[in-house]
């Protein structure tokens, strides 16, 4: 493998995250999140969001999303989400597992963004005793197709949901990339999001994410819930420290901005120098390319890891560690296909 563009998960930890982990390892600290490192990391997140919130650090984005959704819907209810959202396609039924039966209702929309008309139609469906009615909305920022919702787009989706009295979850696995693209993090709580997953792993941390509860009533017995789910770290500082390092040094934002820049470099090169076409707008750190199966296979054979997404396009994801030389070499390889 020459370079892995399959996911931003394939990159290692950013230097700032590693350094913070080393520093957190010095001496002793209180267990189960009662330490100074965890408190400081949580404060850094609150500062980014300009909001008071309860924050907990967990081991994975799947657990964070699934537990968050279990807080917003009863087992006989369902969550509305884009049909390509991670919760619908890549979490092996975890929302239903943690939610003891919570269902998912997939909605259409171009490039990973939920179509408002489709959302309103789902909200207007009559409730009957034979299927799970919606109780919450799950949004993804940036989306699975690398697009970024504007504040206005989010408002048009969130307002009708809140008018129904339903909850709102935001999957921010790539929230850093959305922020680097210009999305204002301080608007998340003000738009009415109840619970946010603040991404760490894809931004240069280890396998760690933060659950941010703007609605503090959701935090009732949250530590019991996390313990039962196997998501309570006795040495929580080792989940929180990479966040602290990334946020205190601004590497969280800077790494995402670099990843976005590399994605744009790749996209520009695809359009200008190859016979392939882009499948979706490039607004964050992912590039989707319309590519015949044989060309994709040949690219993999040459050592360039990338994979075909569920819409048929081939996805290339850049990270904080992506190098310009790698992008240019990939483009040179694509020219020969």
Task: Kindly report, residue by residue over 26-74, the tens digit of the pLDDT.
Answer: 999 999 999 999 999 999 999 999 999 999 999 999 999 999 999 999 9
Helix (H) or strand (E) holding 227: helix 222-228
- Mean pLDDT, rounded, for 131-138: 97
- How far is residue 194's CA from residue 128's CA, in Å, rounded to a whole number? 26
Query: What mean pLDDT, rounded, does the chain reach?
Result: 97
Chain-centroid distance, C-alpha 139: 10
Could you tell me how many residues make up the chain?
A: 337
- How far is residue 185's CA from residue 47's CA, in Å, rounded to a whole number? 10
pLDDT bin (cut points 50, 70, 90) of residue 1 is low
Paired strand residues for 136: 79, 167
Q: Is 314 helix (H, G, I), strand (E, B) or coil?
A: strand
- Mean pLDDT, rounded, for 294-305: 95
| Predicted pLDDT of residue 302 | 93
B/e letters for 139-150, b = 16+ CB within 10 Å, e = fewer, are bbbbbbbbbbbe
Residue 277 pLDDT exceeds 90 = yes
- Mean pLDDT, rounded, for 88-117: 97
pLDDT bin (cut points 50, 70, 90) of residue 144 is very high
Residue with tokens 């939920």: 114
Contacts of 165 (CB under 8 A, 6+ apart): none
- Mean pLDDT, rounded, for 115-120: 98
Q: Where are the domains of the chain?
A: 3-10+251-335, 15-248
- How far is residue 67's CA from residue 171's CA, in Å, rounded to a whole number? 12
Which of 182, 173, 238 has the alpha carbon at shortest distance from 209? 173
Query: What number of CA atoms fall less than 13 Å from residue 119's CA on the CB side?
Result: 26
**pLDDT of 4-28, one tens digit each?**
899 999 999 999 999 999 999 999 9
Q: What percent of the chain has pLDDT above 90?
A: 98
From the candidate CATH numbers 3.40.50.12780, 3.20.20.70, 3.40.640.10, 1.10.10.10, the one assigned to the domain spanning 15-248 = 3.40.640.10
Residue 3 pLDDT exceeds 90 = no
pLDDT bin (cut points 50, 70, 90) of residue 2 is confident
- How far is residue 151's CA from residue 288's CA, in Å, rounded to a whole number? 24
Q: Is 251 helix (H, G, I), strand (E, B) or coil?
A: helix
Residue 240 pLDDT exceeds 90 = yes
Residue 221: count other Cβ atoms within 10 Å of its Cβ: 9
**pLDDT of 150-201, one tens digit each?**
999 999 999 999 999 999 999 999 999 999 999 999 999 999 999 999 999 9
CB burial of residue 318 (10 Å; 0-12, 13-18, 19+): buried
In this structure, are strands 195-199 and 209-213 parallel, antiparallel, or unpaired?
antiparallel
Token reading at 14: 């950013």
- Mean pLDDT, rounded, for 76-80: 98
Q: Is 192 helix (H, G, I), strand (E, B) or coil?
A: coil
∠ CA 240-245-246, rounded to 5°: 100
Chain-centroid distance, C-alpha 319: 13
Q: Which CATH architecture has domain 3-10+251-335?
A: Alpha-Beta Complex (3.90)
| Predicted pLDDT of residue 164 | 97
Token reading at 332: 């040179």
């Amino acid at each position: 493998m020459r370079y892995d563009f399959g996911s931003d998960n394939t990159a290692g930890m950013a230097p700032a995250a590693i350094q913070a982990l080393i520093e957190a390892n010095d001496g002793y600290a209180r267990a189960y999140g009662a330490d100074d490192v965890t408190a400081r990391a949580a404060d850094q997140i609150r500062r980014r969001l300009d909001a008071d919130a309860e924050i907990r650090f967990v081991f994975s984005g799947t657990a964070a999303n699934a537990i968050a959704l279990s807080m917003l819907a009863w087992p006989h209810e369902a969550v509305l989400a884009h049909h390509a959202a991670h919760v619908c396609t890549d979490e092996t039924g975890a929302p239903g597992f943690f939610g003891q039966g919570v269902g998912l209702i997939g909605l259409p929309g171009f490039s990973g963004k939920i179509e408002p008309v489709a959302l309103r139609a789902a909200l207007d469906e009559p409730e009957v005793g034979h299927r799970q009615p919606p109780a919450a909305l799950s949004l993804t920022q940036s989306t699975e197709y690398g697009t970024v919702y504007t504040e206005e787009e989010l408002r048009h989706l969130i307002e009708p949901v809140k008018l129904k009295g339903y909850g709102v979850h935001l999957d921010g696995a790539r929230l850093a990339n959305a922020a680097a693209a210009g999305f204002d993090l301080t608007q998340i709580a003000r738009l009415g999001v109840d619970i946010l997953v603040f991404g760490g792993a894809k931004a240069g941390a280890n396998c760690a994410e933060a659950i941010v509860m703007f609605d503090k009533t959701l935090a009732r017995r949250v530590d019991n819930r996390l313990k039962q789910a196997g998501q309570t770290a006795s040495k929580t500082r080792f989940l929180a420290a990479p966040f602290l390092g990334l946020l205190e040094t601004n590497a969280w934002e800077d790494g995402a901005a670099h990843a976005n820049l590399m994605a744009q470099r790749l996209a520009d090169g695809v359009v200008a120098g190859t016979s392939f076409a882009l499948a979706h707008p490039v607004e964050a750190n992912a590039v989707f390319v319309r590519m015949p199966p044989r060309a994709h296979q040949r690219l993999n054979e040459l050592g360039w890891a990338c994979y075909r997404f569920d819409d048929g396009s081939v996805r290339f994801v850049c990270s904080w560690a992506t190098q310009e030389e790698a992008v240019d070499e990939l483009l040179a390889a694509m020219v020969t296909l």
